[in-house]
Amino acid sequence: MADGVAYAPHRAIDVFAWDVDWYLWSAYKVYGPHLGVMYGKRRAYDSLLSLGGQGPNFYFVPASDLSYKFELGGVSHEGCAGLLALQDYLLCLLGTSPTPGTPPQHQQEHQQDKEQRQQQQLQPVCRHHNDYIPQEAEGGLISTSLPLVPPPAMASAGQVRVSRSQVEAAFALMTAMEMPLQEQLLSYLASHPAVRLAGSANADPAVRVPTISFVHRCRSSQWVARQLQAAGFAVRCGHMYARRLVEALSAEGGLMAEEAIQRQAVEDEGAAAGAACAGSAVFDEQQAINEGVVRVSLLHYNTPGEVSQLIEALRTIL
């Protein structure tokens, strides 16, 4: 099972090439609505059944009804509809769709169809979400002799309008836009003597994405994050649901343990802000784990100027 929440906003997902059994990510992290997305192989699902019982969740739902088995509540229909607009955003990045704020083609068709119906004095009657029945202007009687023809907008809405190659091209463009941003921030953090990066300092997009985490020798992650938030930057701290990873890094002997020991020594001595990291203290491993890391997430729509402002704020804080 792979957690793709941090990866999906930056690279095109390819579950077939990776041959993963389960892959999960959040659509809202990929410029879509607030939905969770899960991919699973049939053989992976069958392995759950082989353990006995009726599979996950509701016992009264047949194991063969896959979609219902994983549906814990009502489907967010507006979210599903909104997910389709992600296609327009990707096409917009490639320059093959109207710019944001301009209605996509299917919306323009819908408006034209609406105006045409008004001119003909026909009223739409809901029979199915993809059908409409013209209604006679006089008497309000439904004419069953007229054919059921979906309006142009409804015929195009819901269709896949973007190809796999276009998805890959859009994310390749995002990668190219993000690379100088992460190179700029990584260069500063890697050169700071009191900062320990959690991850590679290599800005090569084949090595990492621009979700950058670090700890400081003298400042708690919470303190650094709060200072940056006060300066207007959306920066977080903690384990970000990767607690086992933070435990491994922060535990005694871990990659970030040395910084935690020195940081706690400064705190125990009541050192003033900006004091040099020195002294000794009893290492509180749990405290180090709870502090976690400072995390900065950059995306393709951030600018070099914004990263420069962040670095200036870090120079003041660190």
- What's the confidence (pLDDT) of residue 90? 92
**Range of 65-69, 73-77, 114-118, 160-164 with top mean pLDDT:** 160-164
Whole-angstrom distance, CA of residue 23 vs CA of residue 37: 8
Name beta bridge partners: 293. 238
Q: What pTM does this model have?
A: 0.72
The answer to which of 29-33, 122-126, 209-213, 298-302 has the lowest mean pLDDT is 122-126
Q: What is the pLDDT of residues 43-79, one digit of tens each?
A: 888 887 777 666 777 778 887 887 777 777 777 888 8
Single-letter code of the amino acid located at 65: D
Residue spans per domain, the chain = 2-30+36-75, 105-156, 166-317
- What's the confidence (pLDDT) of residue 123? 37
Whole-angstrom distance, CA of residue 113 vs CA of residue 117: 6
Whole-angstrom distance, CA of residue 241 vs CA of residue 245: 9
Percent of the chain with pLDDT over 70: 74
CATH topology of domain 166-317: Aspartate Aminotransferase, domain 1 (3.90.1150)
**Range of 82-91, 115-124, 309-318 with top mean pLDDT:** 309-318
Q: Is the pLDDT of residue 256 over 90?
A: no
User: When comparing pLDDT for 240 and 232, which is higher?
Assistant: 232
Q: Is the pLDDT of residue 150 over 70?
A: no
What band does 180 get if pLDDT is binned at 50, 70 and 90?
A: very high
Mean pLDDT of 298-304: 95
- What's the confidence (pLDDT) of residue 132? 31
Whole-angstrom distance, CA of residue 110 vs CA of residue 157: 9
Q: Is the pLDDT of residue 110 over 80?
A: no
Strand 22-26 relative to strand 2-3, pairing: parallel
- What's the confidence (pLDDT) of residue 157? 52
User: When comparing pLDDT for 94 and 278, which is higher?
Assistant: 94
Please state the length of the chain. 318
Between the two ends of the chain, the Cα-to-Cα distance in Å is 37
Mean pLDDT of 187-195: 94
